[in-house]
Chain A
Amino acid sequence: MKLEFDIASGDFSKAGRASSRIKKMLKQLQVDPKVIKRIVVAIYEAEVNVVAHSVGGKMLAEIDGTGIRVIVQDNGPGIEDIEKAMQEGYSTASKAVRNMGFGAGMGLPNINRNTDEFTIESELGVGTVLTFRNNF
């Protein structure tokens, strides 16, 4: 099963819609709630990142009997220093994003913590691609 979502830049009123749809789907499939929580927290962090940091992007989720694989791809601006971005506490978030309770530099490390497989690739001026997977 494949689900695809567009994620608009800066639109915090819609941030979380994709995560919410995927959560409902996994619940319907009667996946273990602990597994659901880990993957939806990762998806939600990734979704908020696209809204907060990028010019927009999309998310693709593939679910089969063994697990869920998620690809989150944005159209830029790309991450200058991935190593730094993966460090807890490092953030380039705006004041507006911080005022909403995000931007503490915990998103990417939290995605890593909540997934079984995780890769991040980024190119300045092109964009960032996150791929992660959790097994059921």
Chain B
Amino acid sequence: MKLSEIIDLTNAKVVAGDAEKDRELLRAFSSDLMSDVLTLDTEHILLITGLTNLQIVRTAEMADIEVVLLARNKTATPEMIELANETGLVLLETPFSIYRASGLLFQNGLDPVY
């Protein structure tokens, strides 16, 4: 699914990174458990989470995650935005809950990791 479609479907706002609209994401994973995210072998994925701390950005960097969607009006901290811009991570914010955002994306064809 194209990044532009993900942004449209979830009413998301881009707060960090270069959100080139043609970027293609193959799968998504929803989790607040970074330990779990660090066990994924899949690349080019979208992470949907309700957590906002610097370790989300670090975890994404180590796990080769390109885009993170912060759910339910959670806002990225200035430190997160700074680090995301440094590491090239695209950070999005959506007003939707994790359930709603995941449901919409799944329904429109974005595959799960598992």
Contacts and interface: CB of A to CB of B under 8 A. Distances in A.
Interface of A: 12-13, 15-16, 19-20, 23, 33, 37, 40-41, 43-45, 48, 100-107, 110, 113
A104 B61 contact: no
Contacts of B55: 12, 15-16, 48, 100-102
Interface stretch (B8-16, B34-42, B94-102, B106-114): B34-42
Contacts of A40: 62
B38 A41 contact: yes
A101 B56 contact: yes
11 contacts: A20-B87, A40-B62, A41-B62, A43-B62, A44-B62, A100-B53, A101-B56, A102-B35, A104-B35, A106-B36, A110-B38
Contacts of B56: 101
Contact of B62 (A16, A105, A113): A16
Give the interface SS of chain A, mostly helix, strand, loop or mixed: helix
Given A19-B62, A20-B58, A45-B38, A101 B33 contact: yes
B57 to A, nearest CB: 8
Pairs of residues from A and B, 7 with the lowest C-beta to C-beta distance, nearest first: A16-B58, A101-B34, A104-B35, A106-B35, A44-B62, A40-B62, A101-B51
The size class of the interface chain B forms with chain A is 20 to 34
B32 A101 contact: yes
Given A16-B58, A40-B62, A106-B39, 17 more contacts: A12-B54, A12-B55, A16-B61, A19-B58, A20-B87, A37-B43, A37-B63, A41-B62, A44-B59, A44-B62, A100-B34, A100-B51, A101-B37, A101-B51, A101-B53, A101-B55, A101-B56
B64 A44 contact: no
B33 A37 contact: no
